[in-house]
Chains A and B, each alone.
Chain A
Amino acid sequence: SQTIHQWPATLVQPVGSPLSLECTVEGTSNPNLYWYRQAAGRGLQLLFYSIGIDQISSEVPQNLSASRPQDRQFILSSKKLLLSDSGFYLCAWSWQGEQYFGPGTRLTVT
């Protein structure tokens, strides 16, 4: 069966510091991968999606970037965090439109 992992689970970072969130998927090959951000209790904002290694589409211009160095690894990064980057970050893989989410990372920028 497929599983998706995210780490860290929670993170508190000062403004201006770098960021690296990691997502890995097991049990499937060449998945479509996604990064979302969610404000408290609300819907999902698509940040990046990838259909293959080094194939990444950005949906929202901002100070975040994504990379996919391996088939089942997806990384979200920032060189300098802003206060507005705080939120709940979710990674997901999909199959025929159905999305399967990781447990999420709660990021607080102070």
Chain B
Amino acid sequence: TQLLEQSPQFLSIQEGENLTVYCNSSSVFSSLQWYRQEPGEGPVLLVTVVTGGEVKKLKRLTFQFGDARKDSSLHITAAQPGDTGLYLCAGAPKTSYDKVIFGPGTSLSVIP
């Protein structure tokens, strides 16, 4: 069974600080996605990484896919209160796009 683990589970930081959250697995994925979810809403896709070693930047967010395509990280620079939310990683197994596996999420709170 393929599993995705995320760390930390909870993170509370002050506005302006930097942070990194991690998504790890023992399995290889053909692609990996990061989502952000705000309370009471559905998750929203932030980015998809496909190539091992790939780095993508979205304003203050930097996403990296591990060389072996088993792990990923999300780094936020100068966090703002608007970054608060649940960050979920999800991976598409090599064999199929039909079933995407979600990690348990990292709950981020940015304090003004």
Contacts and interface: CB of A to CB of B under 8 A. Distances in A.
Interface string A14-38: 0000000000000000001000000
Most buried by B among A42, A46, A98: A98
Interface in B80-97: 86, 88, 90-92, 97
Given A97-B31, A99-B90, A43 B102 contact: yes
Interface string A78-99: 0000000000101010101111
A61 interface: no
A32 B39 CA distance: 25
Contacts of B102: 43-44, 46
A100 B104 contact: no
A36 B109 CA distance: 24
Given A49-B98, A49-B99, A103-B41, A97 B92 contact: yes
B41 A104 contact: yes
A30 to B, nearest CB: 13
Contacts of B104: 42-43
B43 A46 contact: no
B75 to A, nearest CB: 21
A51 interface: yes
A97 B89 CA distance: 12
A89 to B, nearest CB: 10
Given A41-B107, A42-B105, A94-B100, A99 B41 contact: no
Interface of B: 30-31, 33, 35, 39-45, 48, 86, 88, 90-92, 97-100, 102-105, 107
